[in-house]
Structure 1
Amino acid sequence: MPEAIPEGDYERGKKIFKQRCLQCHVIDSTATKTGPTLNGLWNRKSGSVPTFDYSAANKSKGVIWNKESLFEYLLNPKKYIPGTKMVFAGLKKAEERADLIKFIEVESQKPPS
């Protein structure tokens, strides 16, 4: 049975994003860094930002990013998508993943600045 996903806290998620994600990802624009933009991520298919050079694994996974898929992915990205270029080891605590997902859910759906 899949692990229950906690509600998540936006402010704690914002802090996690700044500490763990911002060095490789933006969420408030369509620019790419080491990783693809997370703007528009919600309900987007993996490997689909046209200006980013994804691994074949990300392109072929075909996952739609939402609360459930991100919760599993953020636990261990390399296990969820073997062959991904993402170097992030993951977040083991369910609460931290839920917090980060809450922040991403809200911010990724805003128009880019």
Structure 2
Amino acid sequence: MRSGFAISAVLAGVLALSGCGGEAPAPAQPAAPTVPVPTQAELPPPYDTADLAAGKGIFGRQCASCHYVASGKGNLVGPNLHGVFERGTGNLASYNYSPALKNFEHKEWTPDLLEQWLLAPQGFVPGTSMFFNGIKKDEERHALIAYLLIESRKP
């Protein structure tokens, strides 16, 4: 009887100690920087007067089939655009960018840079894998960028 108890105690100890070794869990990826969500009035011109409802519609018609903008949604054909202005160009760890965008000379998306990109992506970054004809009308680009400046920063 005593030997059964001793064996059980030893096995319990071995099992308890076996959980103490091994590799440490991988550190969590740092959270995206927290940036206050601006109001439209806080956006720089011409985005402060752009039509946000039109921007949302343009995103829905021309962008949403390839991109999410909401936090935690993952990627589609294109990268998730949440935090796009804070993380830099070609710099989302969970997305495999084209070499052209990985090596793009500009390292931070700004509204002015996005204006050029959205006008003609293939012309602005030759070799990009984003096949999109662009948005030719200024007011439509302004509306979309205003929408992204706000939506991409929502928690």
Give distance in 2, aligned partners of 1:43 and 1:68: 15
TM-score by length of structure 2 reads 0.66
Q: Which residue pairs with 2:124 in the alignment?
A: 80
The 1:107–1:52 alpha-carbon spacing in structure 2 relative to 1, beyond 3 Å, is same
Choose the corresponding residue for 1:39, options 74, 79, 82.
Answer: 82
Residue 66 of structure 1, CA deviation: 1.5
Structure 1: gaps of 5 or more residues: none
SS at match of 1:83: coil
CA-based RMSD: 1.3
Q: State how 1:30-69 maps to structure 2 within 5 Å.
A: 30=72, 31-63=74-106, 64-69=108-113
Change (3 A) 1:62 1:37: farther
Q: Where does residue 46 of structure 2 map in the other structure? A: 6
After the TM superposition, which of the residue ranges 70-79 and 7-16 deviates more from structure 2? 7-16
- Tell me how far 1:44 sits from its aligned partner: 2.9
Q: Unmatched 5+ residue regions in structure 2?
A: 1-44
> Taking CA–CA contacts closer than 8 Å with sequence separation of 6 or more, which of the two structures ends up with the larger relative contact order?
1
Q: Which has the higher helix share?
A: 2
CA distance in 1, matches of 2:143, 2:83: 18
Rg larger in structure: 2
Match of 1:100 among 121, 124, 144: 144
How many residue pairs were aligned? Answer: 107
Q: Which residue identity lines up with residue 54 of structure 2 in the other structure?
A: R
Give the TM-score, by structure 1 length: 0.89
1:57, 1:83 within 8 Å by CA — same for their partners in 2?
A: yes
